[in-house]
Structure 1
């Protein structure tokens, strides 16, 4: 039986989702025994103390949050497999549970661009890898369209808590100074809640003046926010499963051939904090609202034309100016986005999802999905869902 020490923050949804994936793997290939060690043991016991305890317990592996000066090679030298969660920066000599953070940033930028925004901001941390790289991806995607990003970045979590809670604050002053309407991406849901609370205190309207998007899709935090926070979902539970698979391999191979586990962003989950379309063109705003409210029907461009007093050529020209897409392509991309969401959130078959979207030809939607995602719907589901990924 493998004995595994877990040193992670189970008070956050990311940590609990990782644990779900790890325990699922252990139930299938174990049994494993777990010791949940509070994160403050890093400070009170240090690496030497944790190593001593691990040897006394005869632990086979450790998954945890460690500082970058923790000398984790000492665990490997003692034959104990260790995988680090990169909660500050990536480790160099042991495998990491990391993420495609830049891709999440690009996903957030694309989401806001489709809503017609021309002003953008990012709120996060300078010295934490997952925040820094999400901001970089956000900025790089927007730069392709000629847009710049307004930044507010902290150097510590303590600083971020002070600046949103007490008023007046530098954060509230920054929010008031931003051009409106503006699309703001926060590095995670915690910081997204800071923004929604700071906006409430300073009487900045969400989403009318500031649309706010977080990352992690923590149901508790997103629904605690006022208004509820839109967020980018991650395949964290699948990441936990792959972490356990790697840990099992390291234990059996005596710490050979290890690699990083990459948690991928999967989709944007829209809630009230971004439920608006930012364009000064009244008719295109009407068209966008109609498309999003009716995407689960078999929409055609002619259906959109009936909603606005514009000729087809005029609609196409103005729509492209606001969104960067022809009307047909915008509908196509949004339909694939909704199809993807149902793939990951339901157990419906490809045919049933197509029917839910008002489409009679499931083979055609599967072909279109492959054009966008580069794989079949079944392959995509296997990639991101544990139950399908054995």
Structure 2
């Protein structure tokens, strides 16, 4: 029986989801005994750690990296925060996380964007670079506020510097915060300053820490890393190392999941208020049988004028906007739920399964079944 150490803190959803992926792999193996902190695993105290055959670890700094290296066993790092780069890694694709953030905020009509980051850590830098690329800006041209991770962890400690920075921003603005912790601290500062979220400032975080995001007021939209896949693939890499099928240093990046939209970004920005109102209606009711005629009926201008304005600002028709929203909701359900494709078609308001398949294949060049097979790993 191989002893596999799981060196995680289990203080957040990230660790719990990673552990879930490890456990799934271990159950399929049959000859792995997983050791970790908490009542769910065999003990991972100092003595047990020295007896482990291999280790999956969330290594946050150089000191921890050196300690893990001193054990003399195969190690897969799921954080990659150490500057020493001593181990193979399976971690979130942070560049793609930034790209996803920029793509999402652009879709909401954001023209002014800003960044809140953590100093001197690679994952924050990669998220920033991906974000800048997605919004077609030089990183140096994006208004930014960055502090060490420990500073952000002091959530309820007021900051003169952060307050001053938020007050000077050109509004409305969309802020991409490198994690949910920084997003929460930004929201608390906005509350002190009577800055309206999301009307003046939209806030998007990363990690989708459900309790933190839902307790915030307004609740925080966040990008969900695919932590379960990280845990599973880290286990597969460790297994290959133990079996002599892999040697040397390897880095595997796992694409993040979708944005979980909550109140902090539930707004569509557009210079044309008629188009903005139409977009808000589409986001709210697209999957409930909404038609282009329904949208036009809600407007205070004639349908032809609304269609012309819509084409000018969105580069597509009202019907195309409704269809895009329905398809995006369908993609989320295909990835996150066990509903049948027929059920998803009905839930997203496509009318018929044949119509759903036709529109889906036209948009994504694959069927819903192929999409689900490609995106779901377990």
Calculate the TM-score normalised by the size of structure 2: 0.87
Aligned 8 A contact 2:80 2:89 in 1: no
Structure 1 unaligned residues grouped into runs of 5+: 39-48
1:330, distance to aligned residue in structure 2 (A) = 2.7
Partners of 2:146 and 2:5 in 1: CA distance: 33
Aligned partner of 2:18 in structure 1 is 18
1:21, distance to aligned residue in structure 2 (A) = 0.7
Partners of 1:119 and 1:244 in 2: CA distance: 41
> What does the per-residue CA deviation read over 1:176-233, in whole Å, with 9 as the maximum and x for residues that have no partner?
1111221111111111111111111222111121111111111111112111111112
> What does the per-residue CA deviation read over 1:143-194, in whole Å, with 9 as the maximum and x for residues that have no partner?
279x96321112x1123345x6433521111111111221111111111111
Counterpart check, 1:249 vs 2:240: yes
Counterpart check, 1:200 vs 2:191: yes
1:217 aligns to what SS in structure 2? coil
Question: Aligned to 2:152, which of 132, 137, 160?
Answer: 160
Aligned partner of 1:42 in structure 2 is none
Partners of 2:15 and 2:34 in 1: CA distance: 15
1:265 aligns to what SS in structure 2? coil
- Point out the more displaced range, 203-212 or 26-35: 26-35
Calculate the TM-score normalised by the size of structure 1: 0.84
Counterpart check, 1:129 vs 2:83: no
Aligned 8 A contact 2:326 2:349 in 1: no
Aligned 8 A contact 1:183 1:212 in 2: yes
Aligned partner of 2:101 in structure 1 is 108
**Pair 262,91 (structure 1): closer, same or farther in 2 beyond 3 Å:** farther
- Point out the more displaced range, 21-30 or 319-328: 319-328
Question: Aligned to 2:92, which of 96, 99, 104?
Answer: 99
Partners of 1:187 and 1:374 in 2: CA distance: 32
Partners of 2:330 and 2:84 in 1: CA distance: 37
**Cα RMSD (Å):** 3.0
Partners of 2:169 and 2:204 in 1: CA distance: 16
1:340, distance to aligned residue in structure 2 (A) = 1.3
Structure 2 unaligned residues grouped into runs of 5+: 39-44
1:11 aligns to what SS in structure 2? coil
Partners of 1:312 and 1:10 in 2: CA distance: 54
Partners of 2:5 and 2:163 in 1: CA distance: 41
Question: Aligned to 2:55, which of 62, 82, 86?
Answer: 62
- Point out the more displaced range, 325-334 or 222-231: 325-334
1:237 aligns to what SS in structure 2? helix
Aligned partner of 1:182 in structure 2 is 173
**Pair 235,161 (structure 1): closer, same or farther in 2 beyond 3 Å:** closer
Aligned partner of 1:278 in structure 2 is 269
Partners of 2:321 and 2:84 in 1: CA distance: 41
Aligned 8 A contact 1:250 1:257 in 2: no
Aligned 8 A contact 1:320 1:326 in 2: yes
Partners of 2:302 and 2:78 in 1: CA distance: 55
Aligned partner of 2:29 in structure 1 is 29
1:211 aligns to what SS in structure 2? strand
1:244 aligns to what SS in structure 2? helix
Aligned 8 A contact 2:7 2:55 in 1: yes
Aligned 8 A contact 2:23 2:34 in 1: no
Partners of 2:346 and 2:352 in 1: CA distance: 8
**Pair 169,315 (structure 1): closer, same or farther in 2 beyond 3 Å:** same
In the TM superposition, what are the counterparts of 1:284-323 in structure 2 within 5 Å?
A: 284-312=275-303, 314-323=305-314
Counterpart check, 1:5 vs 2:8: no
Aligned partner of 1:45 in structure 2 is none
